[in-house]
Chains A and B, each alone.
Chain A
């Protein structure tokens, strides 16, 4: 049975793996490209402010700017640590 499954399973072609990886990385690069120049700085400073109160990781903060027709929405997501230990006394 196992052997049959093994034989039936088609190995994923390496080119399609490459394509998937590239689609993700390129989408990410383009997201960064279209954002205003101040975004990395804003993200860094927001992180510093949050860290004054809660110890969070560098990648625990996610910031994005979406624009609709006539307004832009700045979305800020911060993942806080589960326990209280990260909090300064």
Chain B
């Protein structure tokens, strides 16, 4: 039986797809059979971030509507073994995504995979609710910024009431906080919420902290999940996040402001 993990946030543009791609890839790199599903019908992006946009033939909706088999729609990742991508439809109506259809797809995948990562669309509507409905665990992606934190709290409310686990009075969905685009220098100057602030307000466990990093844009430009860039802070931070998801204790990194020394100022220092 696979563990179903939804990557969600409420607010758009906080790094859901980047995180879903990096975490799914990280899980696969650690030897887990992993599939990552794009739930953003009409605005798919996961295929671009994973670098497989030209290999999409069938999608999730095709499978749900019986126009293609699951194995025809699954795309095998070029770089990472044990990793598959199930893209969203770019054209179909959102309503074609039915709870029964999704349940069937997840059940089938569950037999074969260790982890199913669901990349949720933004918002709190149909698609987002369906992405989280069958989840065992949720990664709530949050930027240290007021609107993102408020929306994350809304999502936590939905996770506690609008999921299958909640409806069946089963143990609740396990909630993880993932803070992204964290800028320690701005935190030090008092212009950005600290990670303790965000954690205190949302009152859930921190699973990872991803610093603001140039590597993220570089990675999406190339269609290579940032976790492959292990020279970068963001890549390392996502690898740490994956370790914590797998139950390991890993100390936090990249949350403190490193003052640049004279040498790195003169020579540009390392890559971020």
Binding site for B on A (CB under 8 A): 13-16, 18-19, 21-23, 25-26, 29-30, 33
CA distance A23 to B193 in the complex (A): 12
Q: Are A14 and B191 in contact (CB under 8 A)?
A: yes
The size bracket of the interface on B is 10 to 19
Add 9 more A-B contacts to A15-B192, A18-B193, A29-B150 (CB < 8 A).
A13-B191, A14-B190, A14-B191, A15-B190, A18-B145, A19-B193, A26-B202, A33-B157, A33-B161
Instruction: Report if A22-B191 is in contact (Cβ < 8 Å); known contacts: A29-B154, A29-B157.
Output: no
Chain A residues closer than 8 Å to B189, beta-carbon distance: 13
Chain B residues closer than 8 Å to A29, beta-carbon distance: 150, 153-154, 157
Chain A residues closer than 8 Å to B191, beta-carbon distance: 13-15
- 190-209 of chain B: CB within 8 A of chain A: 190-194, 197, 201-202
Chain A residues closer than 8 Å to B242, beta-carbon distance: none
Nearest 10 pairs of A and B residues by beta carbon = A13-B190, A33-B157, A19-B197, A26-B153, A18-B146, A22-B201, A14-B191, A15-B193, A15-B190, A22-B149
Q: B187 contacts the other chain (Cβ, under 8 Å)?
A: yes
Q: Are B154 and A16 in contact (CB under 8 A)?
A: no
Chain A residues closer than 8 Å to B187, beta-carbon distance: 15
CA distance A22 to B202 in the complex (A): 10
Partner of B197, one of A14, A15, A33: A15
Q: Are B153 and A30 in contact (CB under 8 A)?
A: yes
Residue of A with least CB distance to B153 = A26
CA distance A25 to B157 in the complex (A): 14
11 contacts between A and B (CB under 8 A): A13-B189, A14-B191, A15-B193, A15-B197, A16-B190, A22-B150, A25-B150, A26-B150, A29-B154, A30-B157, A33-B160
- 139-158 of chain B: CB within 8 A of chain A: 145-146, 149-150, 153-154, 157
- 165-200 of chain B: CB within 8 A of chain A: 187, 189-194, 197
Chain B residues closer than 8 Å to A26, beta-carbon distance: 149-150, 153, 201-202
CA distance A33 to B194 in the complex (A): 26
CA distance A30 to B161 in the complex (A): 12
Over the window 80-94 of chain B, the binary record of Cβ atoms lying under 8 Å from chain A Cβ atoms (1 yes, 0 no) is 000000000000000
Q: Shortest Cβ distance from A67 into chain B, in angstroms?
A: 18
Chain B residues closer than 8 Å to A25, beta-carbon distance: 150
Chain A residues closer than 8 Å to B161, beta-carbon distance: 33
Q: Are B190 and A22 in contact (CB under 8 A)?
A: no
Residue of B with least CB distance to A16 = B190
Chain B residues closer than 8 Å to A15, beta-carbon distance: 187, 190-194, 197
Q: Shortest Cβ distance from A39 into chain B, in angstroms?
A: 14
CA distance A23 to B202 in the complex (A): 9
CA distance A23 to B198 in the complex (A): 10
Q: Are B146 and A22 in contact (CB under 8 A)?
A: yes
